[in-house]
A and B are shown apart, each in its own frame.
Chain A
Amino acid sequence: AQSVTQLGSHVSVSEGALVLLRCNYSSSVPPYLFWYVQYPNQGLQLLLKYTTGATLVKGINGFEAEFKKSETSFHLTKPSAHMSDAAEYFCAVRGNAGNMLTFGGGTRLMVKP
């Protein structure tokens, strides 16, 4: 069984500040890990993914995430927040033998001017 925990349902940062959204997972098989972003009244857009290889992955809009197997974490970061980053962010895990995504509860990012 797989599960995802996102610490902090709401995160607020100032424009230009570091963004850190936390994700911890459990998986019985080597995981594939994803971050998706959801803007109001829209579907999910893929930000980045980890499958194999390099543990630091870069995504769109300046976001990146690091897979740490020892900590079972896949935290999302961005050096400098922009107002347009305000959205809901979801971490998800997929076992490589499975075909479903298991999502965390989401983190709403608010960016203050």
Chain B
Amino acid sequence: ETGVTQSPTHLIKTRGQQVTLRCSSQSGHNTVSWYQQALGQGPQFIFQYYREEENGRGNFPPRFSGLQFPNYSSELNVNALELDDSALYLCASSLKGQETQYFGPGTRLLVL
């Protein structure tokens, strides 16, 4: 059974650029959630996708958007990057109706 994988592992962008982060969910999981973890803080919920549609959103602006594909993999897109977007971005997969989310290793984004 393959766990949650994310790519790339590290990324450096400049302010104003756009970035796309990718996540492959654990085998059999149909729900993907994204979290932002700033340095020294706990993860914060960005949004969740189920059946290719957004299924809940945290307190993040619209420049944070996502996609889920038929194979349940997912993308997180961030437009007009700001310095404060520098963080570890975590993807978690789960099975709809079950409470446990399983996390990937994360993508560390640095915005200069």
Contact = CB atoms under 8 A, between A and B. Distances in A.
A50 to B, nearest CB: 10
Contact of A45 (B31, B41, B103): B103
Given A99-B48, A100-B45, A101-B43, A44 B103 contact: yes
Contacts, number: 56
The secondary structure that dominates the A interface is strand
Interface residues of B, number: 25
A43 B104 contact: yes
Interface of A: 4, 32, 34, 36, 42-46, 49, 51, 90, 92, 94, 96, 98-106
A4 B4 CA distance: 25
Interface string B11-50: 0000000000000000000010101000011111100100
Contacts of B44: 103
Interface centre among A46, A94, A100 (most CB of B within 10 A): A100
